[in-house]
Amino acid sequence: MPLRLDVVTIFPDYLAPLELSLLGRARREGLLEVHVHDLRDWTHDRHRTVDDTPYGGGAGMVMRPEPWGEALDEICSSQPGRTPRIVVPGPGGEVFDQATASRLAEQEDWLVFACGRYEGIDERVYEEFSSRYPLSVLSLGDYVLNGGEVAVLAMTEAIARLLPGMVGNEASLAEESHTGGLLEYPVYTKPAGWRGHEVPEVLLSGHHGRIEAWRHEQRLARTEQRRPDLMERYRTISSSE
Ligand SMILES: COc1ccc2nc(C(=O)O)sc2c1
């Protein structure tokens, strides 16, 4: 069964890149189903209002609960016999990392993304739907975007590319950054010499054992230098294995 993604947003055009390239091919090959919905389709006033002023005062606007309630009621019950995981991108969420992408790719066959805007979605939407469905609030990292759409594009690509059949050479997935907890090794291609920079001799040796050892050393060195936090976790996991 293909992974089904429903995305609810007030900016459907923001998700147009999901029609392109790898994800576009995956959709055409039936590996992935993507349905983008305009939250305003669940409003009933002339101005198709989705926000209002915050109780308690303060700057900005809050997304009203009623449109979200009607939208998620309809979408989350649209596939008889199936239950989605609702994913709400938000700066206050758990950090979305490669492990999250792997877990979602392996364990879920239907994700409903709820893209917030303004100051966020009325808290009662989280209360209502987390009592009825699995619900995760996920953040791309410790910075704030203007809405959830960019996060959905990033999360969708990170998840979808892990689906069987998505990436031509699945061996390449095993050597990527963050796979196995380390950053990836440096890569080179022709010409062997370029502006006085030479490709490391070992890579021209044809000795696969030495090449593999060198690449692992490079991953360790690069991770130590650029992401000591990952290196610490890698050492902890390696010592416990
Ligand atoms: C109002 O909706 C938002 C606002 C900020 C934001 N920041 C995210 C992030 O992943 O950093 S998702 C997200 C959603």
Task: Tell me the pLDDT band of 19, cut-offs 50, 70 and 90.
Answer: confident
8-state DSSP, 18: G
Does domain 3-160 fall into CATH 3.40.50.1980? no
Rounded to the nearest 5°, which phi and psi values hold at 120? 125, -175
Q: Check pocket membership of 192 for ligand 1, CB cut-off 6 A.
A: no
Q: Is the peptide bond before 17 cis (omega within 30 degrees of 0)?
A: no
* Tens digit of each residue's pLDDT (9 = 90 or more) over 149-163: 999 999 999 999 999
Cα(241)–Cα(239) distance, integer angstroms: 6
Q: Cα(122) to centroid of ligand 1, in Å?
A: 14
Q: Cα(99) to centroid of ligand 1, in Å?
A: 20
Residue nearest to atom 12 of ligand 1 (CA): 90
Task: Tell me the pLDDT band of 178, cut-offs 50, 70 and 90.
Answer: confident
DSSP 69-123: HHHHHHHHTSSTT--PEEEEEEEEEEEP-HHHHHHHHHH-SEEEEE---TT-B-H
Q: Check pocket membership of 120 for ligand 1, CB cut-off 6 A.
A: yes
Mutate to test the pocket of ligand 1, among 113, 137, 146 (most ligand atoms within 8 A of CB): 146
Q: Check pocket membership of 181 for ligand 1, CB cut-off 6 A.
A: no
User: Which amino acid would we find at residue 132?
Assistant: R
pLDDT attached to residue 92: 85
Degrees (nearest 5) of the Cα angle 196, 209, 168? 80
Q: Which CATH number fits domain 172-239: 3.40.50.300, 1.10.1270.20, 1.10.1040.10, 3.10.20.30?
A: 1.10.1270.20
Q: Check pocket membership of 139 for ligand 1, CB cut-off 6 A.
A: yes
* Tens digit of each residue's pLDDT (9 = 90 or more) over 53-73: 999 999 999 999 999 999 999
What is the ipTM for the molecules in this complex?
0.94
Rounded to the nearest 5°, which phi and psi values hold at 58? 110, 170
Mean pLDDT of the chain, nearest integer: 94
Buried b (16+ CB within 10 A) or exposed e, 116-140: bbbebbbeebbebbeeeeebbbbbb
Tell me what the mean pLDDT of segment 171-200 comes to. Answer: 87
CA-based nearest residue to 49, from 58, 59, 39:
39
Mutate to test the pocket of ligand 1, among 113, 139, 155, 156 (most ligand atoms within 8 A of CB): 139
Q: How many CA atoms lie within 13 A of 73 on its CB side?
A: 9
What are the boundaries of each domain within the chain?
3-160, 172-239
- Report CA Rg, the chain: 22
Mutate to test the pocket of ligand 1, among 113, 118, 144 (most ligand atoms within 8 A of CB): 144
Q: Are 15 and 149 a contacting pair, CB within 8 Å?
A: yes
